[in-house]
Amino acid sequence: MPTDAAGEHFAHTPTLAWSAGGGREGTLFLTGQMLADQSGAAAPGTGGTLFTSTSGGRGTWQAHQAPVSVSDVRNDPCPNYSPALLPSPDGHRVLEITTDYDESGSCRAYSALGTLTPGKSPIGRTTS
């Protein structure tokens, strides 16, 4: 199971994407609806975290702030359910599309583009 340095992992609706850039083996991008700590409880980064790996998924993954941050994520079919990722060919940017409830209670999609800074975390937002 992919984990970050704190032992956190994604518990629901994992999404994996790959870019040829960023490392010898490219860059894997992973996200999911809920981020869990080692005990399985919701971790503080739930709804706003993605992981990257430049080692083909082996070893510890790097945690980053996701381009879209969704608050109040829970076991529900809308908030941050099955987020989609589209990394850039160079592996330094990623477009995220995910869902959340709007002010009227309707589930809708939100998107943002994030930029990876080599060797640094979190991802900085470039659009929202």
Query: Is residue 92 within 8 Å of residue 116, measured between CB atoms?
Result: yes
Name the residue ranges covered by the structural domains of the chain.
9-125
- The answer, yes or no, to whether residue 124 has pLDDT greater than 60, is no
pLDDT, residue 125, reads 37
Q: CA 85 to CA 75: how far, in whole Å? A: 20
Q: CA 32 to CA 48: how far, in whole Å? A: 9
Per the prediction, the chain carries an average pLDDT of 90
Angle at 118 between CA 5 and CA 35, to 5 degrees: 35
Which is higher by pLDDT, 33 or 120? 33
pLDDT, residue 6, reads 93
The pTM assigned to this predicted structure is 0.89
- The answer, yes or no, to whether residue 28 has pLDDT greater than 50, is yes
Q: For 44-94, write each residue's pLDDT tens digit.
A: 999 999 999 999 999 999 999 999 999 999 999 999 999 999 999 999 999
Q: For 90-109, write each residue's pLDDT tens digit.
A: 999 999 999 999 999 999 99
Share of the chain above pLDDT 90, in %: 86
